[in-house]
Amino acid sequence: APPCPPPLQICVSKCPDRYMTYLTSYADPAALEYYRDFCTPEFKNAGKAPVEVLKDRECPAMLIPSTPLAQRCFPAIQAKEGVIMVGNQTTYDDGHGHRRNVTELLEGAKNANVVLEMRQLAMKIFEDYTVSWYWIIIGLVIAMVASLVFIVLLRFLAGIMVWVMIVMVILVLGYGIFHCYMEYAKLKGEAGSDVSLVDLGFQTDLRVYLHLRQTWLAFMIILCVLELVIILLLIFLRKRILIAIALIKEASRAIGHVMSSLLFPLCTFFLLCLCIAYWASTAVFLATSNEAVYKVFNESACSFSGQTCKPETFNTTNVTKLCPDAQCLFAFYGGETAYHKYLIVLQFFNVFMFFWLANFVIALGQVTLAGAFASYYWAFKKPDDMPAFPLFSAFGRALRYHTGSLAFGSLVLAIVQVIRVTLEYLDHRLKAAENKFAKFLLSCLKCCFWCLEKFIKFLNRNAYIMIAVYGTNFCTSARNAFFLLMRNIIRVAVLDKVTDFLLFLGKLLVVGSVGILAFFFFTQRIKLVQDTAPTLNYYWVPILTVIVGSYLIAHGFFSVYGMCVDTLFLCFLEDLERNDGSAEKPYFMSQDLRKLLKKTNKGQPDA
C-alpha cells in the first residue's frame, strides 16, 4: 500500500482565530477570502470545486482558533478555574452563525493520527445518538407497527398482499434508481464531480463523497442489478408463487387463531438476554479473578530464587537472612493455584455453555411455535378442535416432555459452533504464518464446518417440528424429518424456498419503506417537519440504526410466519403419506389445500 501523504504545512502571517471548514466556506466570498490566507500560494480558486481543492491539497480541510508557539500554530485552548476557553471566550462562531462550546475543539486538537481521528468520529456519532435517539425509537415503533399491519393484512388478503408486496418492492427499488440517476445527472458539469473515489482517497468528512458522480453511479448500478435479479426470479417462479400463496394463506389462518404467537419472540429475546448477561458476567468474573504474583529476585546464588513471596512479610522471613541481596518484586498478574492455571479452560467452557444455552432457548421457541401451529393443522374441525390456549399448552409440553431432546439437539449444534470459533481463533493467530498448506487446510475446515452448521440448523428445525407433532426423541424425529423431506425433495425446493423468498420480500418492503422515510426525515427533506428534525454531524448514523433495527423487528415477526409455514408444510406431507381421504383416514388439510391438490374426503363433509 502507498504511504500516507504528510500533513499539509503552510507558512502564514498569523494564526487563524475562528473555526471554519472549507466545505462550508467556499460558497461565501467573505469567508473564502479569509480562508485564502491559510492556503498554498498555488491556490487561485479559479472555479475549482471543494473536492478538487482537497484532492490537490491546496487548502486545509478545517481551521481551528490557534495561538503561535515556537513558530507553530497550536489550538488556543486554555483552562481557567476548570472552564475550557479559547482566547477569553467559552464559545465561538462555527461559520454557520451558531455559537458552539469550546470543549468541542478538544477533539479537533487531538487529530494527530488515525486513531485520534477515529475517536473524533466516534464522539460525533455518539453526539448524533444523543440528539436523535427518540426519533430512532419512533422509527423502530413505526417498523413494528408496519410489520404487524402487514401480517394482519396477510391474514385476510394473503394473495393480494403478496402481489402488492412484490410490486411495492420493485417500485421502491425503482425509486431508488431514479433518485440516484437524478443526483448523478444534477452533478453533471459541476467542477470536481468527475473525480474518482480512488483519486480522492479517504476523507473524514463523508459528505464529500456525495459530491462525486461516481458515488451515485455505484449506488444506481447496485440497485439496477438487484432490481433485475428480483424481476427475473419472479418471471421464472410465477407459477410456483401461486402454490406458495396457498401455504401463506393457511399460515395466515393459523396465526389468526394463535395471535399470541406474534409476541412469543419477545419471550425468546428475553431469555437470550439472560443467557448473554450470564455469559458476560461470568467472563468478567473469570477475567478479573487474577491477583498480583510476587517472586524472589536476587543477583547471587540463592535457593529461594524464583519462589513466590509476599511483600508485606518478606523482610521478616529467613530469605533476607540467607540471601541478603534478595528482593520480593512483582512478577506478573495472574496466579499459581490450580484455579488460575486452568482459567483459560474455564473461559472456554463458559463460551461453550453460552452457545449451548442460547441454542436451547432458540430450540424451545421453535418447538413451542411448532406445537401451537401443529395443533391447528391436526384439528379436523378448525378451530373448534383446537385447545383453548395452544401456545401455552405447547410451551408446557415442551418444558415437561421434550427438555432432554431440546438439550441434545442444542448440544450437537453448540459443539459445531465452538469448533468454528476455535478455527477462527487459529486463523487469526496464523495470519502471519508463511505455511500456505496450513492456511489452505484451515480454510477448508472453516468452510466444511460452516456448511455442517447450516445443515444441522436445518435438520434441528425440522426435528423440533416432528418432536412437537409426535413427541418422539430427537434422533428419531431428526431421522423421520430428514427422510420425509428427501421423499418430497421437489416440493421442499419449490414450496419451502419460494415461501422463504416471499417472506424475505416482506422484510425488504418494511425495511425499505422505513429506511426511505428516515432518510427524508433526517436529511430535512420533509417540509412539514423540517424544523423538527435534529441537526446532525452524520445523518447516516440514525438512518442506519433505524434500518438495522427495522430489519431485526421485521425478522422477529416474519420468523413466526416462517415457522408456521414450515410446520404446516411438514404436517401437510405427513397428512398426504398417512391418510388417503377415506372415512378411516381422512385428510386433515384445509378445504383450499384439498382443492389445490384435487383431494377429497370420501363420506365426510369438508372441514
What is the rounded distance in angstroms from the CA atom of residue 23 to the CA atom of residue 30? 14
User: 77 forms bridges with which residues in the sheet?
Assistant: 86
For residue 446, count CB atoms less than 10 angstroms from its CB and return exposed for 0-12, middle for 13-18, buried for 19 or more: middle
What is the rounded distance in angstroms from the CA atom of residue 597 to the CA atom of residue 591? 10
Residue 328, pLDDT score: 82
Residue 3, pLDDT score: 44
Residue 414, pLDDT score: 94
Residue 307: how many CB atoms within 10 A of its CB? 13
What is the rounded distance in angstroms from the CA atom of residue 82 to the CA atom of residue 581? 86
Q: What is the mean pLDDT of residues 80-102?
A: 59
What is the rounded distance in angstroms from the CA atom of residue 186 to the CA atom of residue 192? 13
* Average per-residue pLDDT for the chain: 79
What confidence tens digit (pLDDT) does each residue in 131-162 have? 778 888 888 888 888 887 777 777 677 677 77
pLDDT class of 4 with cuts at 50, 70, 90 = very low
107's CB contacts (< 8 A; 6+ apart) are 119, 120, 123
At residue 605, does pLDDT exceed 60? no
What confidence tens digit (pLDDT) does each residue in 65-82 have? 787 776 777 777 666 655
Residue of 264, 267, 253, 580 whose CA lies nearest to 386 = 253
What confidence tens digit (pLDDT) does each residue in 413-442 have? 999 999 998 888 888 877 766 677 888 888
What is the rounded distance in angstroms from the CA atom of residue 49 to the CA atom of residue 35? 15
What is the rounded distance in angstroms from the CA atom of residue 255 to the CA atom of residue 152? 9
Residue 173: how many CB atoms within 10 A of its CB? 19
What is the rounded distance in angstroms from the CA atom of residue 478 to the CA atom of residue 601? 30
Residue of 578, 371, 598 whose CA lies nearest to 588 = 578
Residue 104, pLDDT score: 64
Residue 584, pLDDT score: 82
Question: Beta strand 20-21 with 62-63: parallel, antiparallel or unpaired?
Answer: antiparallel
Q: What is the mean pLDDT of residues 467-476?
A: 92
Q: Read off the C-alpha cell for 25.
A: 466556506
- DSSP H stretches of helix in 525-582: 540-578
- DSSP H stretches of helix in 187-263: 197-200, 213-236, 238-257
User: 293 forms bridges with which residues in the sheet?
Assistant: 332
Q: Are 294 and 331 in contact (CB under 8 A)?
A: yes
Dihedral, 359, 360, 364, 370 alpha carbons, nearest 10:
50
Residue 46, pLDDT score: 60
What is the rounded distance in angstroms from the CA atom of residue 81 to the CA atom of residue 516? 48
What confidence tens digit (pLDDT) does each residue in 367-393 have? 999 999 999 888 888 777 888 888 899
Phi first, then psi: what are they for 100, rounded to 5°?
-120, 155
Q: Read off the C-alpha cell for 498.
A: 419460494
What is the rounded distance in angstroms from the CA atom of residue 276 to the CA atom of residue 596? 46
Higher pLDDT, 425 or 85: 425
pLDDT class of 102 with cuts at 50, 70, 90 = low
Q: Read off the C-alpha cell for 503.
A: 417472506
At residue 177, does pLDDT exceed 60? yes
What is the rounded distance in angstroms from the CA atom of residue 244 to the CA atom of residue 499? 6
What does the domain layout of the chain look like in residue ranges? 20-97, 263-290+345-477
Q: Are 308 and 314 in contact (CB under 8 A)?
A: no
What is the rounded distance in angstroms from the CA atom of residue 21 to the CA atom of residue 60? 8
What confidence tens digit (pLDDT) does each residue in 301-334 have? 777 777 888 777 777 787 777 787 787 877 776 6
